[in-house]
Chain A
Amino acid sequence: MNAQQQSSQDEPIIRFEHVSKIYNVKGQEVRALDDVSLEIRRGAIYGIIGFSGAGKSTLMRMVNALETPTSGKVYVAGEDVEALRRRGLRSLRKNIGMIFQQFNLLESKTVFDNVAIPLVLNHEKKDAIKKRVDELLEFVGLSDRARSYPAQLSGGQKQRVGIARALATKPEILLCDEATSALDPDTTEQILKLLGRVSWELGVTILFVTHMINVITKLCDGVAVMEHGRIVEQGSVLDVFSDPRAEITRRFVSTVIPDRIPDSIVEKLKKEPHPGTLIRFRLRAKAATDNMIWQIDTGFKVKTNVMFASVTELQHVVLSVIILKIEGDPEEIKRVTAYLDAHEVEWDEVKI
Chain B
Amino acid sequence: MLDAFFKELGTSTSQMALCANQTLYMLFVSLFLGSVIGIVLAVALVLTNKDGILRNKPVFFTVNTIINVVRSIPFVILMVFIMPFTKMLVGTRIGTTAALVPLTVFIAPYLARLFENSFLDVDKGIIEAAQSMGASTFQIIWHFLLPEAKGSLILSVTTGTIGLLGATAMAGAIGAGGVGDLALTYGYERMNFSLMLFTVIVLIVFVQIIQSVGNHFAFRTRNR
Contact = CB atoms under 8 A, between A and B. Distances in A.
A120 interface: yes
A314 interface: no
Interface string A207-239: 000000000000000000000000000000000
A105 B134 CA distance: 16
B132 A106 contact: no
A93 B133 CA distance: 6
B-side binding surface: helix, strand, loop or mixed?
helix
Contacts of B222: 107
Nearest to A90: B134
Interface size grouping (class) on chain B: 20 to 34
Contact of B134 (A89, A104, A120, A175): A89
A107 B131 contact: no
Most chain A CB within 10 A, of B131, B133, B222, B224, is at: B133
Contacts of A175: 132
A-side binding surface: helix, strand, loop or mixed?
mixed
Interface in B30-54: none
Interface in A97-119: 97-98, 100, 102, 104-109, 117-118
B132 A93 contact: yes
A121 B125 contact: no
B32 to A, nearest CB: 23
A90 B129 CA distance: 13
Interface string B89-118: 000000000000000000000000000000
Contact of B123 (A96, A102, A109, A117): A102
B125 A104 contact: yes
B55 interface: no
Interface residues of A, number: 27
Interface in B139-162: 139, 143-144, 147-148, 150-151
A94 interface: yes
Interface string A281-323: 0000000000000000000000000000000000000000000
Contact of B143 (A66, A120, A149): A120
Given A108-B148, A108-B221, A92 B134 contact: yes
A235 to B, nearest CB: 28
B134 A102 contact: no
B149 to A, nearest CB: 9
A170 to B, nearest CB: 13
A104 B135 contact: no
Contact of A109 (B129, B132, B147, B151): B147
Nearest to A92: B134
A121 B135 contact: yes
Nearest to A110: B224
Nearest to B125: A104
Contacts of A20: none
Nearest to A152: B224
B224 A106 contact: no
Contacts of B132: 64, 66, 93, 96-98, 175
B150 A108 contact: yes
Contacts of B131: 66, 93
A151 interface: yes
Contacts of B135: 121
Contacts of A98: 129, 132
A179 B169 CA distance: 55
B143 A117 contact: yes
22 contacts: A64-B132, A90-B134, A92-B134, A93-B131, A93-B132, A93-B133, A98-B129, A100-B125, A100-B128, A102-B123, A104-B126, A105-B129, A107-B148, A107-B222, A108-B147, A108-B148, A108-B221, A117-B133, A121-B134, A121-B139, A149-B224, A151-B223
5 A-B pairs closest in CB distance? A93-B134, A104-B125, A104-B129, A98-B132, A90-B134
